A and B are shown apart, each in its own frame.
Chain A
Amino acid sequence: ETGVTQTPRHLVMGMTNKKSLKCEQHLGHNAMYWYKQSAKKPLELMFVYNFKEQTENNSVPSRFSPECPNSSHLFLHLHTLQPEDSALYLCASSQDRETDTQYFGPGTRLTVL
């Protein structure tokens, strides 16, 4: 596979469930990002990882927990979410944190019931 992949593409979960989103990039990049995209709102940056180290946490609630085991993989662990967390969650990567061009995955459409 090439580019940035995300699984699952769709996820429906209850407020008491625990689930994880996975992102993998095959571009040899060193920086990875999680974004939240809600309808008619700008993309919101959630987390930034550079060389596996978290460099940005954009005031994200603790019910979202990121994990970056290596430069190619990024996870977003979800627990006790709220219905307003329903959105498209996009993963992106870039060569490094200083590079402005980001490559996005197709996203995971999350619905919280």
Chain B
Amino acid sequence: TQLLEQSPQFLSIQEGENLTVYCNSSSVFSSLQWYRQEPGEGPVLLVTVVTGGEVKKLKRLTFQFGDARKDSSLHITAAQPGDTGLYLCVRTTDSWGKLQFGAGTQVVVTP
């Protein structure tokens, strides 16, 4: 099984600080998604990246897909308490309807 490795597992920062979380795999992603799961809720899709080297921005969130399509990063600028949640890296597989999830990075932003 090709694993998705997310790092760090846990990150606690103060409001206003920046943070970056990473997702890595030994195999090439056909496409990659980032989801955020807030406490007591299910995961919500933030972005899908498809092209190597692609950069997408969603307000204060910047998503980057590695040139070789084996890694991705999520950078949050000036984090706010509302950014608290579990950030999940997800790759699509060759099997329809099957997504492979990483274990996630738990981010806590304190006021």
| A contact residues vs B (CB 8 Å cutoff) | 4, 31, 33, 40-43, 45, 48, 50, 55-56, 90-92, 94, 97-98, 100-107
Sample (13) of A-B pairs whose CB atoms are under 8 Å apart: A31-B97, A42-B4, A42-B101, A42-B102, A42-B104, A55-B97, A90-B43, A91-B42, A92-B42, A97-B97, A101-B33, A102-B45, A107-B41
Least Cβ distance of A42 to chain B in Å?
4
Do A45 and B98 have beta carbons less than 8 Å apart? yes
**B51 sits at the interface (CB 8 A):** no
B42 touches A40 (CB 8 A): no
Contact between A100 and B48, CB atoms less than 8 A apart: yes
Chain A contacts of B104 at CB under 8 A? 42
Given contacts A90-B42, A92-B42, whether A102 and B99 have CB atoms under 8 Å apart is yes
Contact B42–A101 (Cβ < 8 Å): no
Q: Is the interface of B mostly helix, strand, loop or mixed?
A: loop
A106 to chain B, nearest CB (A): 5
Specify which of B41, B45, B92, B103 is in contact with A41 (CB 8 Å cutoff). B103
Flag if B88 contacts A43 (CB, 8 Å): yes
Chain B residues within an 8 Å CB radius of A107: 41-42
Cβ 8 A contact of B97, one of A42, A91, A94, A103: A94
Can you name the residue of chain B whose Cβ is closest to the Cβ of A107?
B42
Most central of B4, B31, B43 by chain A CB within 10 Å = B43
Complexed CA–CA distance, A91 and B101 (Å): 15
For the complex, give the distance between the alpha carbons of A35 and B31 in Å: 21
Extra contacts, 6 of them, besides A43-B101, A100-B99 (Cβ < 8 A), are: A43-B43, A100-B48, A100-B92, A102-B99, A104-B43, A106-B41
Q: Identify the interface centre among A31, A94, A102: most chain B CB within 10 Å of its CB.
A: A102
Q: From known contacts A43-B88, A100-B48, A100-B92, infer whether A105 and B99 are also in contact, taking CB-CB under 8 Å.
A: no
Chain A nearest CB from B98 CB (Å) reads: 6
- Whole-angstrom distance between the Cβ of B51 and the nearest chain A Cβ: 15
